[in-house]
Structure 1
């Protein structure tokens, strides 16, 4: 992995950085294909909205694009992953932020995980997580640096993979009221009796850029508060995120799903 920290190549950031100490910041992860950033306007909108909500200064779009493109130009593959991380910077007393704040930014590049291609072709198996997301409408939808819930969910997935056969690839995640939010790696859509559905993320969950793009181009998708029972009635399901695109679910809690009519239509939208 290579990284630019405030425009300079490096690997170290100050121990008093508020992103490290308090998770005080946000990030977005971008797919690179044929050396081009995918869905950049959505990612830039995400950074703007999250920094505005957190009241963190954000560098201009031109600077971020220039730094990302510099890393892409010197990368050893035409496909890659660009991550842009913004923290509030250093300073302040305890939790109280410094006034004014001088944000830090880290733009890094890495390789695409090797198993993604197989998942896109074969589909994934999903089980149910016991860990629940806290209900916090003020931060719902935002991709902040506070990702301890997701760490615990991934740990639960690892534990289940050690004892379950066949091993699950992902977990369905609900909030504290048992309403479905997402999976451990992305947003979730499903079709039942010809109608597509996806969870309302007003109270918890992350509003992914692929989800936003699909909903903008498919206003007929029904957004609602659903429990697991609704998902188990689905005729087909897919999970989506910025790196994977759309990945079909082949099995949910032991129920085999073979219909994947979405792929040709929905994938072309991305």
Structure 2
């Protein structure tokens, strides 16, 4: 943990990625090392929606997963700033307790695919982040239901497990869960990929509300109209890619 004087942090980014590099070791192929990205450097400030652009395969999703702590980094720092105190934590340090704390308090993540737990209802999946923070179950369930209604999920599905839902229905459950908490930083991995136009527009409105509230958003949007509607800055990840994919 590195602490900073909050009085000196006006306008400071909530997320700073500094010279981050990542490779994978393929143990089933004799330990072959596969580089993915190198020297990744950028900032995301409060109220910004920074979009990771570039062709498929250049490492966009890998960058999001490093920032959420799903992937370790080879080199570099991922600095997460507390907007209330100015304190800065290096998520890339590899401390699992730090990663869990940052996920609970500072970083939300809407992945591209919902990994549903068997027999857990859609309502409970969405309410879980609130329950983990000590919110009373009835209130958490009511807020989850309101979020699912906003995303036009049929109420008949609320008390069913999402494992059998369509792709678009699962994605709406995933989005609802990720937007339940007012995280200072929100990571979005193609959140509208399986949605129709009506629900894409709903999600655009939700993203804009987060930006107005000061959330720092980092996302991947292959849906061009959505990207144009929310992006404040686009970073071409090809500049960091070691693959130079076409």
Give the TM-score of the pair, scaled to structure 1: 0.26
Question: If each structure's strand is expressed as a fraction of its own residues, which one has the higher value?
Answer: 1
Give the TM-score of the pair, scaled to structure 2: 0.28
Structure with bigger RCO (C-alpha 8 Å, 6+ apart):
2
Question: If each structure's helix is expressed as a fraction of its own residues, which one has the higher value?
Answer: 2
Which structure would you say has the larger Rg? 1
